[in-house]
Amino acid sequence: MIRQARATQAPRADASRPGPGTTITAELPVVTSAGLVRPERGPRARRRSAPYLVRLVVWLLVFVLVCMLAGAAVEHYHPSWLDFLQNHASAVVAADAAPSRAPAKGGTAPRSTHVPASGFRLLDEGARGASYVVPARSYSIVVTTSHPCWTQVAEPAGSATPAYAETVQPTASPKAFAVTGSASVVVDAAAESVAVEIRGVTVGTIHLPRLGYTYSFSPTGA
């Protein structure tokens, strides 16, 4: 009885062998007369490098970015290094404002208005301001701007109470401020120039004055 019961039991399936419904996805070696041959894999596709023009443009952009960062750092930590780019004081040789005329009949010759030549010069320059020498005691500080520019003119130079404090409008530009003795000017907007005039003749011009920078002027010998 025991032998008959064992003979009637169905054989168990081997779990290690795939059944009829199992799909094999692994790569199988090819059997040839020479033996087993493993399947060959195709070569990997190489990554194509960017065109030369694109790489050149990228490097140029990186170079410009580095220059901009360096300029910003210099402007923040050492602004005086860039003074030569923003301060261009040019001395203008003065000429006679009104040339002498022949005396009229029965009258005297009109008085010639003469301005001393080569008297405007830079005296000192620092991180907060610059000083200039003016060849006259009475003169005018002229501000030229193409948009509204807040301007303060102190008399004497460095005075806590400015003699003039107003916004120079483009319609009123150039705006002249008459002063006597030492004086200083500060502009809080990008002006085109700050000039010094003596009896209508420009003796010195500061192009593109710096914002918040004090420009002081004093007569010769003061």
92-144 pLDDT tens trace? 444 443 344 444 444 443 333 344 445 888 988 898 999 999 998 999 999 99
Q: Rounded distance, CA 94 to CA 200, Å? A: 10
Residue 89 banded pLDDT, cuts 50, 70, 90: very low
CA dist 161 to 22, 152, 157, 185, Å?
A: 98, 9, 10, 12
Give which of 127, 134, 116 is closest to 179, Cα–Cα: 134
The residue type at 207: H
């923003």: which residue's tokens? 86
Angle at 124 between CA 120 and CA 128, to 5 degrees: 120
Q: Rounded distance, CA 211 to CA 49, Å? A: 48
User: pLDDT of 132-179, one tens digit each?
Assistant: 999 989 999 999 999 899 999 999 988 888 999 999 999 998 999 999
At residue 114, the pLDDT reads 42
49 versus 25: the higher-pLDDT residue is: 49
Reply yes or no on whether the pLDDT at 25 is more than 80. Answer: no
Tokens coding 145: 């701007």
Task: Please give the mean pLDDT across all residues of the chain.
Answer: 74
At residue 15, the pLDDT reads 53
User: pLDDT of 36-79, one tens digit each?
Assistant: 555 566 666 666 777 888 888 899 999 999 988 888 887 777 66
Give mean pLDDT, residues 183-210.
91
At residue 218, the pLDDT reads 92
Residue 32 banded pLDDT, cuts 50, 70, 90: low
Share above pLDDT 90 across residues of the chain, in percent, rounded to a whole number = 32
At residue 93, the pLDDT reads 40
At residue 184, the pLDDT reads 94
